[in-house]
Amino acid sequence: MELVLKSASEETTLALGSSLGSAASPGDVICLIGELGTGKTVIVRGMARARGHSGPVTSPTFTIINEYVDAGLCHVDAYRLDTGEQLIGAGIDDYLDGEWVCAVEWADRVRPALPSNALSIEIAFGEAENERVITIREEGGWDGRLARIMKELMSE
Amino acid sequence: MSVKEHGEGAMPVIVAWDTCMIRGVIAIARGRQLLAETYFEAAKGHSGWLMPEMDEALVTARVSRAEVTHVACGTGPGTFTGVKVGIACAKAVSMGLGVPVVGMPTLDLLAHAAPGIDRDILAVMDARRGQLYAAAFRPTDETLERLTDYMCVEPSSLCCVAAELDIGDLVVAGEATVELMDLLGKTRHVVTTGGDYPTGGALIKLASDMIESGDVSDAVSVAAIYLKKPV
């Protein structure tokens, strides 16, 4: 299943992240793909807020992996990595044991290290200044939960 | 009369832990007598609780920090964060209290957690991605002799290793998978210990053995066992 959304503002993108954060369960992996400045971190921030984390949410560009223990959320930034092996070397396996929700920015750079069953979110710049085109795709099946997330988004 | 077991030193007072698997353990002992042991879920946020848990265990054991003569820790292999936090805390306590560190390989701890066994022991841990950390041990009079290197291998390779070493009937300690038991069981009698994780008793037994044989380090030289090569 694939869902294409248009977000007109950062607030809308944040709300999408929030819906994803509420819908996600431990063990879920969210792959975030998009150019610099498209709002990958905004999605993760929304996820973290919805899951009860009130502290800062910034991309761990140099530390690679941030954990927000209070939200059960693992935040990965693979911008500086080139291979899946490098992400494994940075310790990702500790977070793929079903205890954490993992949100991975630049997931396309390290895709082999992540499970095939994941939710992929691609963000592209839209035509208007703050517009983003967000494509959400179930990779390997996400147990149909995307339909429920869509329903939640439509009701907002 | 107090027993002087180590030359000028008194009976060792040991604070020990292993955080390299998903269940962690802290143990406090005077000599070989276990005074307190605490188990905890180690999957999330090791760094936040290890030191408070240690303090709590010391209170339970009625041992003051000043009495501690040795800090002992599991050195892996194991989870990425668990190995690092366990060793970093041991180094810190060693420096803070001015006591030596006893670095205990976690696979040895698993093997020592299997008590009174008279046949060879294969200690295994889940290394993720279809691999196992493993080492084989043989009981001797007093302790266990390690027969192999510490390995990170697929279950099928372990069967080859067992065959090459002419290992017969076997006890598997640690995270024995059904696949591994089936593979090993084709050519020999295999049972599990049922003990998946290091115990307080194993921590103190191995630490005491190592202290008696002088196998202790300083905070700088104690090192983790990493079997997956960094990329």
The full set of domains in chain B, from first to last, is: 13-106+197-212 (3.30.420.40), 114-192 (3.30.420.40)
Q: Which residues contact B5 (CB under 8 A, 6 or more apart)?
A: B11, B12, B31, B212
Taking any CB pair shorter than 8 Å as contact, residues of chain A touching chain B are: 67, 69, 72, 83, 85-86, 88-89, 91, 93-94, 96-97, 99-100
Which of chain A's residues have a Cβ under 8 Å away from the Cβ of B230? Answer: 89
Residue B4: per-residue pLDDT:
37
Domain annotation covers residue A14: no
Residue B85: per-residue pLDDT:
92
Q: In Å, how far is B80's CA from the nearest CA of chain A? A: 5
**A40 vs A28: CA distance, rounded Å:** 17
Domain annotation covers residue A71: yes
Q: Are A103 and A77 in contact (CB under 8 A)?
A: no
pLDDT at A131 over 50: yes
If pLDDT is split at 50, 70 and 90, which confidence band does B1 have? very low
**Contact call for A91 and B81, based on CB within 8 A:** yes
As a whole-number percent, the residues of chain B with pLDDT over 90 amount to 70
Tens digit of each residue's pLDDT (9 = 90 or more) over B117-140: 888 999 999 999 889 999 999 998
Total tally of structural domains belonging to chain A: 1
Which of chain A's residues have a Cβ under 8 Å away from the Cβ of B79? Answer: 93-94
Which of chain B's residues have a Cβ under 8 Å away from the Cβ of A63? Answer: none
SS3 helix, strand, coil % of chain A, rounded to 5? 35, 25, 40
Mean pLDDT value across chain A: 92
As a whole-number percent, the residues of chain A with pLDDT over 90 amount to 78
If pLDDT is split at 50, 70 and 90, which confidence band does A79 have? very high
Residue B165: per-residue pLDDT:
85
B43 part of contact set with chain A, CB < 8 Å: yes
Q: In terms of residue numbers, what domain contains A66?
A: 26-135
If pLDDT is split at 50, 70 and 90, which confidence band does B6 have? very low
Domain annotation covers residue A83: yes
Looking at the partner chain, which of B22, B43, B231 has a beta carbon nearest the beta carbon of A85?
B231
If pLDDT is split at 50, 70 and 90, which confidence band does B3 have? very low
Q: Are B131 and B179 in contact (CB under 8 A)?
A: no
**A112 vs A89: CA distance, rounded Å:** 13
Q: Which of A93, A95, A96, A110 should be substituted to probe chain B, the one whose Cβ sees the most B Cβ atoms within 10 Å?
A: A93
B228 part of contact set with chain A, CB < 8 Å: yes
**B191 vs A104: CA distance, rounded Å:** 41
**B195 vs B213: CA distance, rounded Å:** 27
**B121 vs B191: CA distance, rounded Å:** 10
Q: In Å, how far is A74's CA from the nearest CA of chain B? A: 11
**B118 vs A67: CA distance, rounded Å:** 44
**B12 vs B205: CA distance, rounded Å:** 12
B130 part of contact set with chain A, CB < 8 Å: no
Nearest Cα residue in chain A from B229: A89
**Contact call for B45 and A67, based on CB within 8 A:** yes
pLDDT at A60 over 80: yes
Q: Are B122 and B162 in contact (CB under 8 A)?
A: yes
**B138 vs B154: CA distance, rounded Å:** 22
Tokens of A113: 């290290």
Q: Measured between alpha carbons, how far apart are the two ends of chain A, in Å?
A: 21
Residue B16's H or E segment, with its range, is strand B13-18
Q: Which of B85, B128, B175 should be substituted to probe chain A, the one whose Cβ sees the most A Cβ atoms within 10 Å?
A: B128
**Contact call for A93 and B231, based on CB within 8 A:** no
- The CATH number of the domain holding residue A30 is 3.40.50.300
Tens digit of each residue's pLDDT (9 = 90 or more) over B154-192: 999 998 888 888 888 899 999 999 999 999 998 888 988
Q: Which of A24-38, A132-146, B1-15, B215-229 has the highest mean pLDDT?
A: A24-38
Residue A143: per-residue pLDDT:
63
Q: Distance from CA of residue A66 to its chain's centroid?
A: 13
Q: Which residues contact B73 (CB under 8 A, 6 or more apart)?
A: B16, B17, B18, B19, B86, B87, B89, B90, B101, B102, B103, B104, B222
**Contact call for A86 and B80, based on CB within 8 A:** no
Phi, psi of B200, rounded to the nearest 5 degrees? -60, -40
Residue B159: per-residue pLDDT:
87
**Contact call for A91 and B80, based on CB within 8 A:** yes
Tens digit of each residue's pLDDT (9 = 90 or more) over A14-56: 999 999 999 899 999 999 999 999 999 999 999 999 999 999 9
Q: In Å, how far is B78's CA from the nearest CA of chain A? A: 10
pLDDT at B194 over 90: no
**A85 vs A60: CA distance, rounded Å:** 18
B3 part of contact set with chain A, CB < 8 Å: no
Phi, psi of B55, rounded to the nearest 5 degrees? -60, -40
Q: Measured between alpha carbons, how far apart are the two ends of chain B, in Å?
A: 56
